[in-house]
Chains A and B, each alone.
Chain A
Amino acid sequence: MTKRKRLGKLDAETTFSPGSKIPIQASRWFSAEEVAEILQERTANLAQVAQEMEKEQIIHIVVLALGEENYAVEATYVRGIFALENLSPVPCTPDFVAGVVNLRGRIISVIDIQRFLGFQRTEIDDYSQVVVVSARGLEVGLLARVREMIPLPASELRPVLPTATRIAAEYTRGITSRLIVLLDLENLLGDERLIVQEQA
């Protein structure tokens, strides 16, 4: 058995069981076709996982939909996933700061990571979620919709070719066979440009 990566104590409305692939917080209904597709995919994945678990390291990734694009972060960085509620925009901040939310009494800033990377703003709708991630001593919420959590054999992660994605290579850890870009949270959250430190 590969060493199971624990998610830590997930203070989330949804908890994961590593190794399975489930839609997180089914905040919408799936069509019959979609369900069939997902189940088929899962079966295939599980079979594959069972085979590969013995020999390979598995990275659990959380796939996020940001607007039209799909990105992923490693589950070990995820501290919780919450529905986006009572987002309070913060005046006098750069536009990649979507605002702050109150999560069980803690104030967490919510980042529009797409905007930070230089692309269009992520639209906020009823299904928007806050994915709280923590790395390099920094804890922030990412504005996103969680699609699923999947186990990813490390070997499936390929280096990102400069032409394959619009994102600067320093912020990526690789790309999956399904062309999901895995974000490098260490580099992203370690980036000084993310910190708002301004005098009046």
Chain B
Amino acid sequence: MHADEELMEQLMASFREELAERLAAINADLLALEQQPKGEEREQTIQELFRHVHSLKGAARAVALHPIEELAHGIEEAFGATRRGEAELTAELFDLFYRGFDLISAAMANVSAGEKVDKDLDIAEYLGKLGASWQKSPPPPQPDLPATEQAPSIWVQEQGVRAQEADSIPPYEAPPQEHPVAPGAAPSSWSGDTIRVATARLDGLMAQTGELLVSQMQIAQQAREIEQQYATIAGWQREWQQVRNNIFRALQWSADGASSQLREFLEQNEDQLRNLMTWFEEYTERTADNLARLALVVDELQEGVKQARMLPLASLIGTFRRMVRDLAREQGKEVALETYGADTEMDKHVLEQVKDPLMHLLRNCIDHGIEQPAARERAGKPRQGTINLSAERHGNLILIQVADDGAGIDAQVVREAAVRRGILQADEAAEMSDDAIMSLIFLPGLTTLRVITEVSGRGIGLDVVRKNVESLQGSIEIKSEVGKGSAFILTLPLTLVSTHCLLMRVAGQTFAVPLAAVGQLVPVTQDAIVSVEGGQAIHYEGEPLSLVHLTDVLNLPPREPLFASEEEELPAAILEAGGQRIAFLVEKLVGHQELVVKSLGKQLARVPNIAGAAVLGTGEVVHVLNVADLVKSARSKASQRLPARERKEETERRKVILVIDDSITTRTLEKNILTTAGYEVRLATNGEEALAVLAENPCDLIVSDIDMPRIDGFEFTRMVKGDERYQDIPLILVTSLGNDEDKAKGIAAGADAYIAKSTFDQDDLLETIEQLV
């Protein structure tokens, strides 16, 4: 095929698609137009129609389908007349429009069928009717054209019209200045090195490359099996080598016919075995070579398809600008949208899914972030607020930031709101860092709080934004400074094709979890699990961490007994979602693998805790767990559990214990253990606070941390033991510092007992307490 023909064919394919798209849009517009009363909306529809028809005409000309061009031109002219008010949009005209577009479809069908484009179509008759319907009088003959040139040659006609158009370029084509990205490329700019491909086709290719990846894994599995066979045969060969000399020697001495036959047979076998070995050697080598090549090609193919599905963020920005302008105007604010890294490309699917969250964040910036111009001036800022939308690629991740220079969010307000809503206890809230507090605004309970949105802006629906982002296996963070503005940072995967997953086994089934969500894997023995009110916990990095059995969350039967022996260690995966960490106990880790995650289909539209499924090399289907769900389910499961220890008799006066620790988690854990055991618990976050509590309430025992701000545990112990009011109160030091020196220091300071956190368990603590009170 000649290059020209090839080009033409490509152009024709593009045109076919463009035509289909435009005709669909035109039909929808025409339908809408018929219903619309006069007004701005109607004007917009007409403009859009006009634009479609105009582009269609240009595209038809590019592929030399003159009859289609002619039809489009006729319709365009009729539209032009109605826009200029020279003709009324009558029902008759509508009918003619529909007929005209039907004719265009029919003409294209002729082309596709390899027929002449205007086969069986009377285009001239149609154009005559169309012209007559809006031209009250026949068009005046062009005075400056000689009569001979008025022959119905399309090309000449077209030139005439184009000359007319040049004077009055329709305003609809000039994009408003705020649009740096032209919406849609001009059809005249067809070039041979670009073709339009239907997304469905790319999706199909993508699925196929995914399949290829699975096949590759299967072949790799087979290669391993072949290697094992080779090893077996090698073993066989070695065994034979050890005995062969003896056997042959023995056979040499017996001269009967059977022996010589056997000898011959064995020699043949020896040769066969050697051949087999050589064959296997070569075969494994070849397989390994081919597999390596296959892996390379699959990798490149997948990368290539991934690339083909990439779109720049810029493709969304046009819409964003428009929205920012409209919203700002509506609210009497002045806002500029600045973009950075708009050419950053990401997977079409990711881009589509991230559009809504981004719009939401931008809306939030204008609604709640950017102040009124007057207020901004009072605050010494420029009248015009700025929203900065930036995107950047970091390896396989895309970082998108939406930042404004508005009022910012006051962490204190969020803190107070969280307490009011019962999300946090007052002491917990006071304890949390501003950053941690700020992340609370993504909680459903808080984002809808009016008080936050009113006082410092921000809020509505941020939980939804986070959910959307997490469903893309991404995450969202916020940074804010009062008076200076706030920034939302989205971290998204570049594509969603394959995910690196950890495979683990429970209840006879394998499950996968995205490696990105796995914080750490820790071995857990039976002894390491402590029971606390509302569930179980382990110690991790000196802190208690909730432990949940994966089988419990997934409603699967647990292994009985869970631990085969006291020494047995089971793996626990520490999973993280929405700022929460929970350790999930499983029976076995299988390994990790690149998996193509698929949906479970329409019938299983949304299954709790399950994000999708993937096919392993063995053909086995594994479920990919939804970590955000797991953490959520684990929390609700934990609250159903019964307390592990019996409560003390209520008749007995409850002993009061003062717990001092600067870590909220430790405090909560200790409080839970002690309350469950029947003690009354008072809390303090540092030594100073503890002294204040002591001054007010008598306590029966003190449990204190060592590492604390301001007054540390040793100092506090000395103060308590040096004060005659308190010196009789038993004091236990609990700390992550486990060395002997510290122990000596603690005892020297006057502590009654010392428990290291690394060996910390509830029985230990409770026994010590019982001995002391």
Q: Which residues of A contact B (CB under 8 A)?
A: 85-86, 88-93, 97, 100-102, 105-109, 111, 137-140, 194-200
- Which residue of the partner chain, among A88, A107, A199, contacts B606 with CB atoms under 8 Å? A199
Do B607 and A139 touch (CB < 8 A)?
A: no
Do A200 and B626 touch (CB < 8 A)?
A: yes
User: Would you list 15 pairs from A and B whose C-beta atoms are within 8 A, ordered by A residue?
Assistant: A88-B621, A88-B623, A89-B509, A90-B623, A92-B610, A100-B621, A102-B615, A109-B601, A138-B603, A139-B601, A196-B606, A199-B608, A200-B608, A200-B626, A200-B630
Do A92 and B600 touch (CB < 8 A)?
A: no
Cα A102 to Cα B617 with chains together (Å): 12
Given A102-B619, A102-B621, A107-B621, verify A92-B607 contact (CB < 8 Å). yes
Contact with A along B619-644 (1 / 0, CB 8 A): 11111001011101100000000000
Do B610 and A108 touch (CB < 8 A)?
A: no
Do B603 and A200 touch (CB < 8 A)?
A: no
Q: Kindly list chain B residues whose C-beta atoms are within 8 Å of the C-beta of A86.
A: 619-621
Asked whether B147 is an interface residue with its Cβ less than 8 Å from the other chain, the reply is no
Which 6 residue pairs spanning A and B have beta carbons closest together?
A200-B629, A88-B621, A91-B554, A200-B608, A92-B608, A105-B211
Do B610 and A90 touch (CB < 8 A)?
A: yes
Given A89-B509, A92-B609, verify A196-B604 contact (CB < 8 Å). yes
Q: Kindly list chain B residues whose C-beta atoms are within 8 Å of the C-beta of A111.
A: 603
Cα A102 to Cα B211 with chains together (Å): 11
Interface residue tally on B, bucketed by range: 20 to 34
Cα A140 to Cα B600 with chains together (Å): 11
Cα A106 to Cα B610 with chains together (Å): 17
Interface-central residue, B554, B556, B603, B615, by most chain A CB under 10 Å = B603
Q: Kindly list chain B residues whose C-beta atoms are within 8 Å of the C-beta of A196.
A: 603-607
Asked whether B555 is an interface residue with its Cβ less than 8 Å from the other chain, the reply is yes
Cα A62 to Cα B430 with chains together (Å): 68
Asked whether B537 is an interface residue with its Cβ less than 8 Å from the other chain, the reply is no
Do B620 and A195 touch (CB < 8 A)?
A: no
Q: Kindly list chain A residues whose C-beta atoms are within 8 Å of the C-beta of B601.
A: 100, 107-109, 139-140
Asked whether B599 is an interface residue with its Cβ less than 8 Å from the other chain, the reply is yes
Given A102-B621, A196-B607, verify A90-B602 contact (CB < 8 Å). no
- Which residue of the partner chain, among B556, B615, B623, B626, contacts A105 with CB atoms under 8 Å? B615
Asked whether B381 is an interface residue with its Cβ less than 8 Å from the other chain, the reply is no
Given A107-B598, A107-B600, A200-B626, verify A88-B620 contact (CB < 8 Å). yes
Do A109 and B606 touch (CB < 8 A)?
A: no
Q: Kindly list chain A residues whose C-beta atoms are within 8 Å of the C-beta of B632.
A: 200
Q: Kindly list chain B residues whose C-beta atoms are within 8 Å of the C-beta of A97.
A: 603-604
Cα A105 to Cα B214 with chains together (Å): 9
Chain A's closest residue to B506 (CB) is A91
Q: Kindly list chain A residues whose C-beta atoms are within 8 Å of the C-beta of B604.
A: 90, 93, 97, 100, 109, 196
Do B608 and A195 touch (CB < 8 A)?
A: no
Cα A184 to Cα B598 with chains together (Å): 29
Beyond A91-B609, A105-B615, list 11 extra A-B contacts (CB 8 Å). A88-B613, A89-B509, A92-B607, A101-B621, A107-B598, A139-B601, A195-B602, A199-B608, A200-B608, A200-B628, A200-B633
Do B600 and A100 touch (CB < 8 A)?
A: yes
Cα A195 to Cα B630 with chains together (Å): 21
Q: Kindly list chain A residues whose C-beta atoms are within 8 Å of the C-beta of B623.
A: 88, 90-91
Q: Kindly list chain A residues whose C-beta atoms are within 8 Å of the C-beta of B609.
A: 91-92, 200
Cα A101 to Cα B607 with chains together (Å): 16
Q: Kindly list chain A residues whose C-beta atoms are within 8 Å of the C-beta of B626.
A: 200
Q: Kindly list chain B residues whose C-beta atoms are within 8 Å of the C-beta of A92.
A: 554-555, 607-610
Cα A67 to Cα B607 with chains together (Å): 27
Q: A195: shortest Cβ distance to chain B, in Å?
A: 6
Q: Kindly list chain B residues whose C-beta atoms are within 8 Å of the C-beta of A138.
A: 602-603
Given A88-B622, A91-B556, A100-B613, verify A194-B608 contact (CB < 8 Å). no
Cα A196 to Cα B601 with chains together (Å): 10
Q: Kindly list chain B residues whose C-beta atoms are within 8 Å of the C-beta of A195.
A: 602-603, 605
Interface-central residue, B554, B555, B606, B632, by most chain A CB under 10 Å = B606
Chain B's closest residue to A92 (CB) is B608
Q: A74: shortest Cβ distance to chain B, in Å?
A: 19
Q: Kindly list chain B residues whose C-beta atoms are within 8 Å of the C-beta of A108.
A: 601
Cα A198 to Cα B609 with chains together (Å): 10
Cα A139 to Cα B554 with chains together (Å): 26
Q: Kindly list chain B residues whose C-beta atoms are within 8 Å of the C-beta of A93.
A: 604, 607
Do A194 and B555 touch (CB < 8 A)?
A: no
Cα A30 to Cα B30 with chains together (Å): 65
Cα A111 to Cα B602 with chains together (Å): 13
Cα A194 to Cα B604 with chains together (Å): 9
Do A139 and B620 touch (CB < 8 A)?
A: no
Cα A140 to Cα B622 with chains together (Å): 18
Do B556 and A109 touch (CB < 8 A)?
A: no
Chain B's closest residue to A89 (CB) is B509
Q: Kindly list chain A residues whose C-beta atoms are within 8 Å of the C-beta of B509.
A: 88-89, 91
Contact with A along B525-564 (1 / 0, CB 8 A): 0000000000000000000000000000011100000000
Given A91-B554, A92-B555, A100-B613, verify A194-B603 contact (CB < 8 Å). yes
Chain A's closest residue to B511 (CB) is A91
Do B600 and A198 touch (CB < 8 A)?
A: no
Cα A193 to Cα B520 with chains together (Å): 39
Cα A200 to Cα B471 with chains together (Å): 13
Q: A156: shortest Cβ distance to chain B, in Å?
A: 32
Cα A90 to Cα B555 with chains together (Å): 10
Q: Kindly list chain B residues whose C-beta atoms are within 8 Å of the C-beta of A102.
A: 615, 619, 621
Do A137 and B214 touch (CB < 8 A)?
A: no
Q: B74: shortest Cβ distance to chain A, in Å?
A: 40
Q: Kindly list chain B residues whose C-beta atoms are within 8 Å of the C-beta of A106.
A: 598
Do B610 and A198 touch (CB < 8 A)?
A: no
Chain B's closest residue to A87 (CB) is B621
Q: Kindly list chain B residues whose C-beta atoms are within 8 Å of the C-beta of A88.
A: 509, 613, 620-623
Q: Kindly list chain B residues whose C-beta atoms are within 8 Å of the C-beta of A198.
A: 606-608
Contact with A along B555-595 (1 / 0, CB 8 A): 11000000000000000000000000000000000000000
Given A107-B621, A200-B633, verify A137-B602 contact (CB < 8 Å). yes
Q: A132: shortest Cβ distance to chain B, in Å?
A: 11
Interface-central residue, B555, B620, B621, B622, by most chain A CB under 10 Å = B621
Cα A91 to Cα B601 with chains together (Å): 15
Chain A's closest residue to B608 (CB) is A200
Chain A's closest residue to B632 (CB) is A200
Cα A109 to Cα B602 with chains together (Å): 9
Cα A109 to Cα B610 with chains together (Å): 14
Cα A90 to Cα B605 with chains together (Å): 13
Q: A131: shortest Cβ distance to chain B, in Å?
A: 14
Q: Kindly list chain A residues whose C-beta atoms are within 8 Å of the C-beta of B598.
A: 106-107
Chain A's closest residue to B551 (CB) is A91
Q: A98: shortest Cβ distance to chain B, in Å?
A: 12
Cα A14 to Cα B248 with chains together (Å): 56
Chain A's closest residue to B614 (CB) is A107
Cα A196 to Cα B608 with chains together (Å): 9
Given A105-B214, A105-B615, A107-B613, verify A90-B603 contact (CB < 8 Å). no
Cα A91 to Cα B624 with chains together (Å): 11
Q: B598: shortest Cβ distance to chain A, in Å?
A: 5
Q: Kindly list chain A residues whose C-beta atoms are within 8 Å of the C-beta of B603.
A: 97, 109, 111, 138-140, 194-196
Given A92-B554, A107-B598, verify A197-B605 contact (CB < 8 Å). yes
Cα A200 to Cα B554 with chains together (Å): 11
Q: B84: shortest Cβ distance to chain A, in Å?
A: 46
Q: Kindly list chain B residues whose C-beta atoms are within 8 Å of the C-beta of A101.
A: 621
Cα A183 to Cα B455 with chains together (Å): 60
Cα A109 to Cα B623 with chains together (Å): 12
Q: Kindly list chain A residues whose C-beta atoms are within 8 Å of the C-beta of B622.
A: 88
Cα A171 to Cα B215 with chains together (Å): 40
Chain A's closest residue to B212 (CB) is A105
Q: A41: shortest Cβ distance to chain B, in Å?
A: 35
Q: Kindly list chain A residues whose C-beta atoms are within 8 Å of the C-beta of B207.
A: 105
Cα A65 to Cα B600 with chains together (Å): 26
Cα A89 to Cα B615 with chains together (Å): 14
Cα A120 to Cα B610 with chains together (Å): 26
Cα A101 to Cα B630 with chains together (Å): 23
